[in-house]
């Protein structure tokens, strides 16, 4: 099994040594892991906020160096170099330029900001009460679609993160799921099954089973991730992610190297 969504204390809101993330992965019996550190949030003028949400630009080369060093130190497990990039419209060329110097195995695209509304941050939860939930969902999936259509990313992280605090729209999301699935398929992208939702108020894996079944219908490949922000979260609930995937009809998952993926069969129980 694999866990492609591990963070690092360099981003300001995770904790623990990266070495301990790897040790816990080995102890959990994982064969492959990927660090996906939060790429610098260069669009935020408040540098303190940016360094609490992402790896500061001056520390990002250190992050890359640490992942490559861990790869040498722990040859018994495959360690992939990845990152998670917040998609902000209008910054496509800047993102492309800033990703260029690094030899990533994969780049995750994600949406956390909706025109200044940091919708998944606990400090902003009261903002939900002031907003039209239906509109937030439409804006989120519209932004997610834009993210996919840039062609900048390999994996879409936690595809329905917008449900994190348990706010849901009054309308059916089926047509939006299909729109996202078609775009992922067209752009040869992979969707992440992310177990961190089980540790959040919504208490459900990202994406929902309905969403995942539609992704399967459109033959969108998947990866698995715990979104670990501490060593003890590495591999958390991946057995449930595997069952989620199988219930949706998946028999394979995507393994990345050099920003190209191949499909591997799920191991037998």
What value does the CA radius of gyration of the chain take, rounded to a whole number of Å? 17
**Phi/psi at 102 (5° precision):** -110, 145
Q: Are 24 and 249 in contact (CB under 8 A)?
A: no
User: What count of other Cβ atoms lies within 10 Å of the Cβ of residue 162?
Assistant: 26
Return per-residue pLDDT of the chain as tens, 269 residues. Answer: 899 999 999 988 899 999 999 999 999 999 999 999 999 998 877 777 777 789 999 999 999 999 999 999 999 999 999 999 999 999 999 999 999 999 999 999 999 999 889 999 999 999 999 999 999 999 999 999 999 999 999 999 999 999 999 999 999 999 999 999 999 999 999 999 999 999 999 999 999 999 999 999 999 999 999 999 999 999 999 999 999 999 999 999 999 999 999 999 997 76
Buried b or exposed e, range 209-234, using 16+ CB within 10 angstroms:
eebbbbbbebebbbbbbbbbbbbebb
Instruction: Say which CATH number the domain at 179 has.
Output: 3.20.20.140
Instruction: Find the domain containing 202 and state its range.
Output: 2-265
Residue 45 pLDDT: 76
Tally of structural domains, the chain? 1
Q: What is the pTM of this model?
A: 0.96
User: What distance lies between CA 108 and its chain's CA centroid?
Assistant: 6
């Amino acid at each position: 099994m694999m866990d492609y969504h591990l963070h690092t204390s360099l981003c300001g809101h995770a904790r623990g040594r990266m070495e301990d993330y790897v040790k816990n992965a080995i102890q959990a019996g994982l064969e492959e892991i990927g660090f996906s550190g939060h790429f610098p949030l260069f669009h935020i003028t408040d540098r303190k906020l940016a360094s609490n949400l992402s790896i500061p630009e001056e520390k990002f080369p250190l992050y890359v160096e640490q992942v490559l060093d861990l790869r040498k130190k722990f040859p018994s497990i495959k360690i992939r170099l990845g990152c998670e990039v917040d998609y902000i419209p209008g910054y496509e060329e800047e993102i492309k330029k800033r990703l260029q110097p690094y030899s990533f195995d994969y780049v995750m695209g994600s949406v956390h900001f909706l025109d200044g509304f940091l919708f998944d941050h606990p400090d902003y939860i009261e903002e939900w009460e002031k907003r039209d939930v239906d509109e937030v969902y439409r804006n989120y999936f519209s932004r997610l679609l834009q993210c996919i259509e840039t062609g900048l990313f390999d994996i879409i992280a936690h595809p329905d993160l917008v449900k994190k605090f348990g706010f849901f729209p009054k309308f059916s999301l089926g047509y939006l799921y299909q729109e996202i699935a078609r775009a992922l398929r067209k752009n040869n992208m992979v969707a992440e099954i992310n177990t961190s939702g089980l540790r959040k108020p919504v208490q459900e894996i990202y994406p929902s089973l309905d969403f995942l079944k539609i992704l399967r219908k459109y033959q969108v490949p998947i990866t698995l991730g715990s979104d670990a922000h501490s060593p003890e979260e590495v591999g958390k609930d991946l057995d449930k992610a595997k069952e989620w995937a199988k219930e949706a009809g998946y028999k394979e998952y995507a393994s990345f190297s050099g920003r190209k993926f191949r499909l591997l069969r799920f191991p037998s129980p």
